[in-house]
Structure formats: structure tokens, C-alpha cells
Amino acid sequence: MTKIEIFYKESIFDELLIHVNYSIAEYTVFPDRVVVECKLDFGIHQLTVQLAQGQRLNISDVRVNGASLRMMIYLSYIETSVGNKLQPATTLWENDQIWKLPFGNPVSFWQCLVYNKLSPGDFGTDLQERYHIYYPDSVDVDDKFPLIIQTFFKHNFDFACVKRNTPISQLPYYPIEIEMNHRLLNDAIAEIQLKHNWIVQNKHFVAQTVYNSAEFNQSPELDWIRLDLVLREKLVFARAEFPRLHDLIDSLGINDIKNIFMGILPAGGCIAPHKDRTEKVPMYDNDKHFHVYVPLLWSPGNLFKINGATILSDGKPYIINHMDYIHSLVNDSKQDRIILAIRAGVDANQHLI
């Protein structure tokens, strides 16, 4: 069992709501600390505290198995009911505030990791103003998936910390607003489903398919299917092969397109953790181009984990940095997951960001 001690001073409270990794934790109150005992694996975790009944909680230190987090406590922040983040902040005074503290077990591992990303002068400042900081999520996936997939989605050993002046294309991910025409979307999905056998016969070589088959002994029916539509600014197949899909692509308002591929992950399929090509090809330069990820069919049970950053499950469009961050996918639904991946110029698409 892991012992977490939350030290406090000058506080007035009767009841707290404490979570460790999104699970409610029981606690014991002492005159100067609140003690939680729980099972924690090696890696990164999250502690949250909320005033259920009380006027003030002033947190002065947190210790994990007797080791103080020290300066690492300044990574904590308060999240309000409307989603605002307050930092630095170690005092709760309203019931709708949630104090969130990322931490690592053991503390020595966490200190080494954090000090490799932040300088001593950063602590005690508003880190949200200086950096884009992403703390990873954890989820249990069904044990029908290979063990490496299960452990990749469950455990976390890194977080992303990127300076604020970093180009959007070099962040792990970035949400964008693309207005989808639902009639065109439904027509495109129907067209893809109708031509499924043709797509399988004409799909392009993907190293992930070879890896999955060799490593997981995966059934060919679960293989990741990739079909290039535009490659180096040229159509791979005549537009007449997918007229409805191209109508949808035209409606997205994405300019200066270099590459487009359609990706289909069958129900029950997965893609092992990997990074994509990083050769010095002009259209893969992350300073000048980005990777727009547009889900077309994304049922609940589809998960896209970006290591050290997040798990995407909402089926919304994002700019994804697939070249610098390890990522993995599972489709634990009963439908194929269908996406478009579009490589496009940054300058010509400022309206997306």
C-alpha cells in the first residue's frame, strides 16, 4: 500500500472529497494532515481534493511514502466549475473548486522527470502562462487486446511540457473546429462501407499491419487498413472512385493539402504504440505542415492515446503530432472506425486554429 499524506495549516473543514486516479479514496484526518492509503503502481498519478463541507483548506505539503514532493507541489492547480485553472494555488476556499496535483511514484522518479522539463525558477509561477502542460490519462482496456496495448493505456511514465511559443503543429495535439456537413458525411460513410472489399484489395502497405500480425498473431480481419487518396499533392485514384468522399473533403475548408489517407480500424482491432515517419521530407516538416485528423465514424469504445499527453475518445477533429509522440489506438466497439488524415500547410490554414 502507498501512503499519501496531505499536510495542512490554518484550515477549517468537516469533510473532503478525495480522488486518486479518478477513484474515490478513503482518508483519515489528523490535526496537521490527511492520510490516504491506496495501491499505486510505478508511474504518474493524479490526486484531487475538494471541500465537501468547510470554509478553507490550506495545503502546505504532500508526502508519498514519507517522501516530500517539495517544489513539485507547485505543479498543482485549482480547477473551477467553469473550467478555469488557477496557478500557483494550494488553498481551497469554495466548494466548486477542485485542487489537482499530478505526482509520481516513487517521488525520486517524479523529481528527476520534472526537473528535466522545468527549471528551478519556474516553480511558484503560473506554469500555464509559460508552458503547454499535458498530464496523461489512464484507462483499463479489455484483456482481449494484447498485453502491450493494455499496459500502454493503463500506465504513464512521462508528461508533455512545451513552451508557449511553440508552433501548434509541434504540440502533442490541438483541438480544431471543422464544420461537418452531415449529409455529405453520411453519404461518404455509406460510400466507404459499400466499397469496403475494393478498399481492402487496394489498401497500401502499412508497417503496423506487419508488426501486429507478427507480434500479436492478429487475425487479418482486424488489420489496420490505410488507403492513400492524395500523395504528394496528386490524386492516387481517380476522383470518380470516391466522389462522395471527395465532396466531403472539399467541404472541410482545408487548404494546401499535401497528403490524404483514409484509415479504417476494424471493430476489435488495435494499433501498437509507435511513432510515424520522421524522414526529412519537406511536406513532413512540422514547422510548415500539420496533420489534421478528421474522424468520420467513431463509436464509443474507440480510444487514441498520445503518450504523456492524453487519451482522445470524443471523435472530434484534432491536429495530431504523430511524428514526435508515441501513440496507440484500440477499437473496442462493434463498428469500424473510419478517419481521414490530412497533411496540410500551416500558413494556409490559420482559420482552423
Asked if residue 85 has pLDDT above 80, the reply is: yes
Proportion of the chain above pLDDT 70, given as a percent: 95
CB-CB neighbours of 13 under 10 Å: 17
Residue 220 confidence (pLDDT): 75
CA distance 278 to 17: 45
In the chain, the amino acid numbered 210 is: V
Confidence of residue 284 (pLDDT cuts 50, 70, 90): low
* Residue keyed to cell 500551416: 346
Proportion of the chain above pLDDT 90, given as a percent: 81
CB-CB neighbours of 280 under 10 Å: 6
Mean pLDDT of 340-344: 96
CA distance 286 to 203: 26
Single out the residue of 211, 207, 260 nearest to residue 234, CA to CA.
260
Asked if residue 208 has pLDDT above 80, the reply is: no
Mean pLDDT of 293-299: 97
- 108-115 contacts: CB < 8 A, separation 24 or more? 108/67, 109/42, 110/44, 110/69, 110/72, 111/70, 111/72, 113/158, 113/159, 114/72, 114/75
Q: What is the 3-state secondary structure (H, E, C) of the chain?
A: CEEEEEEECCCEEEEEEEEECCEECCCEECCCEEEEEECCCCEEEEEEEEEEEEEEEEEEEEEECCEECHHHHHHCEEECCCCCEECCCCEECCCCCEEEEEEEECHHHHHHHHHCCCCHHHCCCCHHHHEEEECCCCCCCCCCCCHHHHHHHHCCCCCEEEECCCCHHHCCEEECCCCCCHHHHHHHHHHHHHCHHHHHHHCCCCHHHHHHHHHHCCCHHHCCEEEEEEECCEECCCHHHCHHHHHHHHHCCCCCEEEEEEEEECCCCEEEEECCCCCCCHHHCCCCEEEEEEEEECCCCEEEEECCCEEECCCCCEEECCCCCCEEEEECCCCCEEEEEEEEECHHHHHHC
Burial 132-152 (b: 16+ CB within 10 A, else e): bbbbbbbeebeeebbeebbeb
Q: Which range is least confidently modeled, 113-127, 151-165, 267-281, 288-302?
A: 267-281
CB-CB neighbours of 164 under 10 Å: 9
Mean pLDDT of 156-169: 94
Asked if residue 211 has pLDDT above 70, the reply is: no
Count of positions (residues) in the chain: 353
Confidence of residue 107 (pLDDT cuts 50, 70, 90): very high
Confidence of residue 206 (pLDDT cuts 50, 70, 90): confident
Asked if residue 317 has pLDDT above 90, the reply is: yes
Asked if residue 299 has pLDDT above 90, the reply is: yes
* Residue keyed to cell 460513410: 189
Asked if residue 39 has pLDDT above 70, the reply is: yes
Residue 276 confidence (pLDDT): 84
* Through-space distance between the first and last CA atoms of the chain, rounded to whole angstroms: 45
Asked if residue 164 has pLDDT above 70, the reply is: yes
Residue 285 confidence (pLDDT): 64
Residue 25 confidence (pLDDT): 97
CB-CB neighbours of 79 under 10 Å: 18
* Residue keyed to cell 501548434: 168
Residue 4 phi/psi, 5° resolution? -110, 125
pLDDT in tens, 41-84: 999 999 999 999 999 999 999 999 999 998 999 999 999 888 88
Mean pLDDT of 308-331: 95
Asked if residue 41 lies in contact with residue 140, where contact means CB atoms within 8 angstroms, the answer is: no
Residue 283 confidence (pLDDT): 56
Residue 223 confidence (pLDDT): 84
Residue 5 confidence (pLDDT): 98
Instruction: Look over the chain and give the mean of its residue pLDDT values, rounded to a whole number.
Output: 92
> Could you tell me the domains of the chain?
2-125 (2.60.60), 173-352 (2.60.120.10)
Instruction: Considering only residues 278 and 146, tell me which one the structure prediction assigns the higher pLDDT.
Output: 146
Mean pLDDT of 109-133: 93
Single out the residue of 272, 251, 281, 273 nearest to residue 343, CA to CA.
281
Residue 222 confidence (pLDDT): 81
Asked if residue 280 has pLDDT above 70, the reply is: no
Mean pLDDT of 127-153: 94
Asked if residue 282 has pLDDT above 70, the reply is: no
Single out the residue of 139, 136, 137, 127 nearest to residue 160, CA to CA.
136
Instruction: Considering only residues 335 and 353, tell me which one the structure prediction assigns the higher pLDDT.
Output: 335
Confidence of residue 221 (pLDDT cuts 50, 70, 90): confident
Asked if residue 224 has pLDDT above 90, the reply is: no
Pairing of strands 225-231, 234-235: antiparallel
Instruction: Considering only residues 20 and 277, tell me which one the structure prediction assigns the higher pLDDT.
Output: 20
Asked if residue 281 has pLDDT above 80, the reply is: no
